Amino acid sequence: MTMEIHSLGTAEPFRTADGSTIRSLLDRSNAPVANQSLAEATIAVGTATQRHYHRESEEFYFLLEGEGHIEIDGVSRTVSPGDAILIPPGSWHQITADSGLEIRMLVCCAPPYRNEDTFFG
């Protein structure tokens, strides 16, 4: 096995099915990943991801910058830097950058993120 080190500065941003901007650090497209993925996501000021769920993936969000609200299965909470959020598979969720600051967070998915595992109402 080879050592894999990927830099955020070289990761190309792309738009996910839910509307967030992602820079993938480690996933099946750029490393020999089997069980999880890691990315940086940004949510622009005054916007939100589209409410969705994943059938397979469990997600962790870890907020680095910005504040807003996370809604999971109808329960809403304020979130800020340093907060770690668990989103179980099958849970409807949406994060909103409604505090006047862009949200920047790390997103870990297990199994790895796939657009095909993102479902909308």
31 domain-assigned = yes
Q: In terms of Cα–Cα distance, which of 53, 99, 55 is closest to 74?
A: 53
Look up the domain containing 37 and give its range: 14-120
6 domain-assigned = no
Give per-residue pLDDT as tens, 74-104.
999 999 999 999 999 999 999 999 999 999 9
- The set of residues, in sequence order, having a beta carbon less than 8 Å from that of 94 and lying 6+ positions away, is 48, 49, 50, 51, 52, 70, 71
Look up residue 72 and give its two tokens.
């999971």
Only one residue has tokens 């910005």, namely 66
Q: How confident is the model at residue 121 (pLDDT cuts 50, 70, 90)?
A: confident
Identify the CATH number of the domain in which residue 24 sits.
2.60.120.10
4 domain-assigned = no
7 domain-assigned = no
Number of domains in the chain: 1
Q: What is the pTM of this model?
A: 0.95
13-15 sheet: strands from edge to edge: 13-15, 21-26, 37-43, 103-110, 58-65, 84-87
pLDDT at position 2: 82
